[in-house]
Amino acid sequence: MTTDILIIGAGIAGVTAAYFLAPKHRVVILEREPQPGYHTSGRSAAQFAEAFGSPIVRALARASRGFFERPPPGFADHPLLTPRASLVVARAGQEAELVAEQVACAAIGIVTDLVDEAGARRLFPPLARGLYSAGLSEPGAGDLDVDALLQGYLRGARAAGVRLVTDAEVTALERRAGQWHARTRAGDFAAPIVIDAAGAWADAIARLAGARPLGLVPKRRTALVFAAPADTGDTSAWAHTGDADETWYVKPQRGAFMGSLSDATPDEPRDAWPDDLDVAQAVANIEAATNLRVGRPIRSWAGLRSFVPDGTPVAGFAADAEGLFWLAGLGGVGMLTSPAMGHAVAGLIAVGDVPAELYAFGVTAATLSPARPGL
């Protein structure tokens, strides 16, 4: 079949792009797996924070907050964003890093609070005594309802005519007579524009199209859920907490805790699986840093966070393959930046520029471009 835009990949990047493109374009999403969100987008920690990542990532997060707080009518039955402070704790000698981070945040209007050890424990009561001397909290952070977000984008996209084709791995891409032709076992599809939203496989899609890969590196991150002791009490106000060295983080999650090793191990594009040693290390690190006893996790998993060399997401047409649009390198922020990235994609495809509201945050076509310096 022929359409205006083919999107390869039904993770958060692909479905968000479809949602924001749908009002003006005919869109088909091609997804290899039987359901959307099977890979990285189904494996996140669902955190929203502004004080995280590169300056452009922070700008994208700030530009996304309004959508999460006030989604369009009918988008979701529950709030998309539930307040939960984030907290980074530091050992003696690392306080200057927290101060520098606070100054950088203040310069772009992100509110953070420096706390001492007692203040950190008020935000996260299980913190082990005597290990961490200070913390930097972001009171405006929160938990995203990732399922509601993904389903909301998909529902809205479908209502506007987008077709999602699952079990449709793109195995060949060829440009003929101004159209991309994508071959899948669900049939052949053609469109003048292809959006490469294939997550860890985005470089592989570029190779299929004959374009230069961006040097994307999928990095494995290990996560687990463990039971909360019966006497834990109300954890709803506890902060999402991790250490400045990025060796662990923990957050309360529906009567349990979610934790991670905060690892970033270079990997291959694949259905990622947690390494037993990484799970054991996550348990050890969390137990050393807190008075929580993880024991045997209820479940553990791993996901691939894919980064381009400068760590900032990419959205824009490839310079070396007409009609091929990159939407890749979402790293650890694909959820929390999704509305801004969706707006950016829609603007870049419709008029060749990001919408003015993103400029106000410092996000421009150049800052997201696959041709920016360093890529």
Ligand X SMILES: Cc1cc2nc3c(=O)[nH]c(=O)nc-3n(C[C@H](O)[C@H](O)[C@H](O)COP(=O)(O)OP(=O)(O)OC[C@H]3O[C@@H](n4cnc5c(N)ncnc54)[C@H](O)[C@@H]3O)c2cc1C
The residues that touch ligand X, with contacts defined as CB under 6 A, are 8-14, 30-33, 38-41, 43-47, 169-170, 197-201, 205, 221, 223, 260, 303, 305, 330-336
How far apart CA 129 and CA 262 sit, in angstroms, is 21
Dihedral pair phi/psi, residue 303, rounded to 5°: -140, 160
Dihedral pair phi/psi, residue 373, rounded to 5°: -55, 140
Least distance in angstroms from the C-beta of 95 to ligand X: 25
Identify which of residues 16 and 134 has a Cβ nearer to ligand X in the complex: 16
Tokens matching residue 37:
């969100």
Yes or no: say if 354 and 63 are a contact pair by the CB < 8 Å rule. no
Identify which of residues 62 and 305 has a Cβ nearer to ligand X in the complex: 305
Identify which of residues 134 and 361 has a Cβ nearer to ligand X in the complex: 361
Q: Which residue number has the CB closest to ligand X?
A: 11
Dihedral pair phi/psi, residue 160, rounded to 5°: -95, 10
Least distance in angstroms from the C-beta of 133 to ligand X: 26
Farthest CA pair distance, the chain: 68
Identify which of residues 126 and 332 has a Cβ nearer to ligand X in the complex: 332
3-state secondary structure of 9: coil
Yes or no: say if 197 and 326 are a contact pair by the CB < 8 Å rule. no
Yes or no: say if 319 and 248 are a contact pair by the CB < 8 Å rule. no
Least distance in angstroms from the C-beta of 261 to ligand X: 9
Identify which of residues 135 and 303 has a Cβ nearer to ligand X in the complex: 303
How far apart CA 122 and CA 116 sit, in angstroms, is 10
Identify which of residues 65 and 121 has a Cβ nearer to ligand X in the complex: 65
Q: How far is CA 148 from the centre of its chain?
A: 15
Least distance in angstroms from the C-beta of 93 to ligand X: 28
- H or E stretch at 252: strand 249-253
Of 5, 105, 101, which Cα lies nearest the Cα of 58? 105
Least distance in angstroms from the C-beta of 375 to ligand X: 16
Identify which of residues 116 and 271 has a Cβ nearer to ligand X in the complex: 271
Least distance in angstroms from the C-beta of 96 to ligand X: 26
Least distance in angstroms from the C-beta of 130 to ligand X: 29
Least distance in angstroms from the C-beta of 318 to ligand X: 16
Sheet with 179-184, side-by-side order of all strands: 172-176, 179-184, 187-191
Identify which of residues 201 and 317 has a Cβ nearer to ligand X in the complex: 201
CA 201-203-206 angle, to 5 degrees, is: 115
